[in-house]
Amino acid sequence: MAKFNKILLTGINGQVGHALYPKLQTLGEVFALDRGQLDLANPDAIREVVQRIKPDLITNPAAYTAVDKAESEPELAHAINGIAPGVFAEEAAKLGALLVHYSTDYVFDGKKTTAYIESDETNPLSVYGASKLAGEKAIQAVGAAHLIFRTSWVYGAYGKNFLRTILRLAAERDTLSIVADQFGAPTSSESIADATISALQQWETGKDGIYHLINSGKTSWLGFAKEILSQYESLQEVRKWPPLKIKSADVRSITTAEYPTQAHRPANSMMSAHKLEKTFNHTSNAWNQALSQVITTL
Ligand SMILES: NC(=O)c1ccc[n+]([C@@H]2O[C@H](COP(=O)([O-])OP(=O)(O)OC[C@H]3O[C@@H](n4cnc5c(N)ncnc54)[C@H](OP(=O)(O)O)[C@@H]3O)[C@@H](O)[C@H]2O)c1
């Protein structure tokens, strides 16, 4: 089993960073940094931190994740998502360290009718997607040992995400309308952390590359919202949770065209996790099972 001496972790206050932190401690000594301790928009600060800590594993879940806001802040999004990963890769190469980085389904345009595989052509529709694709390319261009995990629709008990937003809105509002024509795989931050640890335990030279890391199955944002509310309803009495104003059956279906956003999103975000399963013998749960594990921890 691969063990590491020093592990640098960015984005400790983010969903994936928060889930990774305790699990990474099983692999080595973790140096976890928040934005105040390391600003990814500052390449010199990245170099200084890596050279000071001298990690043999860098895990970088920190990112500019405000998909719509990125349309009006392209330089900042590109600095954090496009440039910083390449700087980490350069510093990792100098130390002979492994870099673990996260990317997104939004590198694709969603026009494929089946699940995307890692070698499929990318064509981001948004500034965010383009900045994340630039980060992937910057890492690959350096040639340091790396694992890039593309994931999708991330949520968890901790952080800002769709699950928590739906529960809040269902408590506050009388009606809820959710987009029904974008399809993908909701993926829990815990599942991402588990798969990352599994891959790290089996890490060896030659396994570098991009991997799709998602919970299995497929749904729409509407299906995800209904499942959240239905699972909440089934636990509500036992857990003595407050009642919600909106029931799962009451959630209304709308189209992407009826819910315009600054950034365009792919209609098909489905990705195949076959490569990850084959290389690291790790299979993630079905998305609704992962959801039920998260909901019970709320
Ligand atoms: N969220 C999704 O639905 C989704 C979908 C596909 C892929 N991904 C990818 O998965 C990874 C993890 O995402 P996540 O959901 O965990 O994101 P998240 O919850 O939004 O967390 C991102 C973290 O990055 C930090 N950060 C932002 N700007 C920074 C900067 N300039 N310097 C240092 N840290 C900075 C944030 O700090 P603060 O806490 O201070 O804001 C936050 O802790 C990212 O690579 C993301 O692109 C996410």
Per-residue pLDDT tens for 192-221?
A: 999 999 999 999 999 999 999 999 999 999
**Whether the predicted pLDDT of 191 surpasses 90:** yes
Please write the tens of the pLDDT for every residue from 28-75.
Answer: 999 999 999 999 999 999 999 999 999 999 999 999 999 999 999 999
Report the atom number in ligand 1 closest to the C-alpha of 128: 47
Phi-psi region of 281 (alpha: psi -120 to 50; beta: other; left: phi over 0): left
Query: Can you give the pLDDT at residue 205?
Result: 94
> Does 83 sit in the ligand 1 pocket, CB within 6 Å?
no
In the reported structure, the alpha carbon of residue 243 is separated from the centroid of ligand 1 by a whole-number distance in angstroms of 31
By DSSP bridging, strand 6-9 and strand 29-32 are parallel
In the reported structure, the alpha carbon of residue 64 is separated from the centroid of ligand 1 by a whole-number distance in angstroms of 6
Query: Can you give the pLDDT at residue 231?
Result: 97
Tell me whether residue 102 is one of the annotated catalytic residues: no
- Averaged pLDDT, 9-24: 98
Confidence of residue 3 (pLDDT cuts 50, 70, 90): confident
Report the atom number in ligand 1 closest to the C-alpha of 79: 31
> Does 82 sit in the ligand 1 pocket, CB within 6 Å?
no
AA identity, residue 135:
G
**Whether the predicted pLDDT of 1 surpasses 90:** no
Query: Can you give the pLDDT at residue 116?
Result: 98
- Sole residue written with tokens 């998909």: 67
CATH class in words for 6-157+187-216+270-285: alpha beta
Residues in the chain: 298
In the reported structure, the alpha carbon of residue 84 is separated from the centroid of ligand 1 by a whole-number distance in angstroms of 13
